[in-house]
Structure 1
């Protein structure tokens, strides 16, 4: 069951590199100006919890890598996280909220769990910190603990370290106001989660 969709490292690299232009790896500690702008950004986006992102997701446990196209719909505390494998076409659909999570697309039918993270880990072996990733994907610090943040030459977050995870922001869509992340790489050895975001949409 843990063998969901196998991909080679070469195809995985091509999949992600095609999605956005790589950002120069400049990392500067926050000063009063950049930390002030980040604080304002977090205030501006504090109530942004009705959105949809579409793109590609890859996960790795240090041995196996799996990837697929991703549609993530966030509606307040409710979410729908749908991944389709590129080779088999198999679809996994994770839905839920404060009352628990359901995962469809498994052999043997839908599974239920008390939370999304433990359900994904137990059923398909994916270690995805969904609670934190919900904020990290927006370029925000999660509310789960202290965070260290560094910035690129453009003044946008470049690296975020929180809850044992290192989150690198490889590309941003600066045509939006505020700018939105396009490539988000999170790692907590041996686990890796990579988002290559192709489109953001926000409910008004």
Structure 2
């Protein structure tokens, strides 16, 4: 059974969503599982993700996404497909990135704004590194809904709403396989086909899509 929504600020995320239990009430099982799961996810400082993405509505575009996350917090995101600018690469760190497309390259501290200017919509670059793991980003308030396994079923943060439809085994944890991101501008569906390079174990190949 899913829990009621729990609004949390960044600081309270560290302590967990404990706003609905009194001092003498035990944690619900799903909340206890979430606290254990969150601690494991926060230890993931590197991974490789290969996924398919599709935007719904009038855009109706499809493509492939590859994300390489490194322990030093740098990343390399590559999009391929008919997304309005052809192949797209965004590489850097949370402070500054280089965006490369068929139009050339640009160094920017705000790749999301760059994408909005070029495409009319954007990807949540700042939060995606965490959201892809099924984890709220640590720097801003979030609202989460948990399922019975202590996994995030839905998340609202930074103007985006995410709904997680399916998780898959990936090394020592389960990670999202299918989820959807929605903003006022666009709805994006993502299917994670392959997780690799996780600390502690290599993730198995994902099963084929049915």
State the 1:69 CA deviation.
0.9
State the 1:176 CA deviation.
4.5
Aligned to 2:154: 159
SS at match of 1:65: coil
State the 1:175 CA deviation.
6.2
- Identify which of 48, 59, 62 aligns with 1:64: 59
What per-residue deviation string (whole Å, max 9, x for no partner) do you get for residues 147-195 of structure 1?
2222234442211122232110011104643111001211122322222
What per-residue deviation string (whole Å, max 9, x for no partner) do you get for residues 83-134 of structure 1?
1116999421111114422221222x11221232222222333321111121
Q: Which moved more, 1:120-129 or 1:35-44?
A: 120-129
Gaps of 5+ in 1: 1-25
5 Å matches for 1:38-187?
Answer: 38-59=34-55, 63-75=58-70, 76-85=72-81, 90-107=86-103, 109-174=104-169, 176-187=171-182
Alpha-carbon distance between aligned partners in 2 of 1:180 and 1:117, rounded to the nearest angstrom: 25
SS at match of 2:61: strand
Aligned to 1:196: 191
What per-residue deviation string (whole Å, max 9, x for no partner) do you get for residues 1-48 of structure 1?
xxxxxxxxxxxxxxxxxxxxxxxxx74337632122212212112131
Alpha-carbon distance between aligned partners in 2 of 1:113 and 1:84, rounded to the nearest angstrom: 20
Does the C-alpha gap of structure 1 residues 120 and 167 become closer, same or farther in structure 2, counting only changes over 3 Å?
same
Gaps of 5+ in 2: 6-26, 200-210
Alpha-carbon distance between aligned partners in 2 of 1:98 and 1:89, rounded to the nearest angstrom: 23
Name the TM-score, length of structure 2 as normaliser. Answer: 0.73
Alpha-carbon distance between aligned partners in 2 of 1:203 and 1:176, rounded to the nearest angstrom: 7
Q: Which moved more, 1:162-171 or 1:90-99?
A: 90-99
Alpha-carbon distance between aligned partners in 1 of 2:84 and 2:117, rounded to the nearest angstrom: 21
Alpha-carbon distance between aligned partners in 1 of 2:155 and 2:143, rounded to the nearest angstrom: 6
* Equivalences, count: 177
Aligned to 1:33: 29
Alpha-carbon distance between aligned partners in 2 of 1:121 and 1:54, rounded to the nearest angstrom: 23
Alpha-carbon distance between aligned partners in 1 of 2:102 and 2:119, rounded to the nearest angstrom: 9
Cα RMSD (Å) of the superposition?
Answer: 2.6
